[in-house]
Amino acid sequence: MSILVSEAVSNNDEMRIAEIYHKALRLFILIGSIGSITMFTGASKISDIINITGSAQSILAISPAVLAACICGAVRGYFQGRQIMIHTAVSQIIEAAGKLGLGLLGAVYAVSCGHKS
pTM, to two decimals:
0.78
The mean predicted confidence, pLDDT, of the chain is 92
Alpha-carbon distance values, 117 to 51, 76, 101, 114 (Å): 18, 36, 19, 10
CB-CB contact of 29 with 66 (8 Å):
no
Residue 32: other Cβ atoms inside 10 A: 21
Summarised one tens digit per residue, pLDDT across range 76-107 is 999 999 999 998 899 899 989 998 998 899 88
Which of 10, 22, 19 is closest to 75 using CA atoms? 22
CB-CB contact of 77 with 5 (8 Å):
yes
Predicted confidence pLDDT, tens digits, the chain (117 residues) = 899 999 999 999 999 999 999 999 999 999 999 999 999 999 999 999 998 888 898 899 899 999 999 999 999 999 999 999 998 899 899 989 998 998 899 889 888 988 776
pLDDT at 117: 63
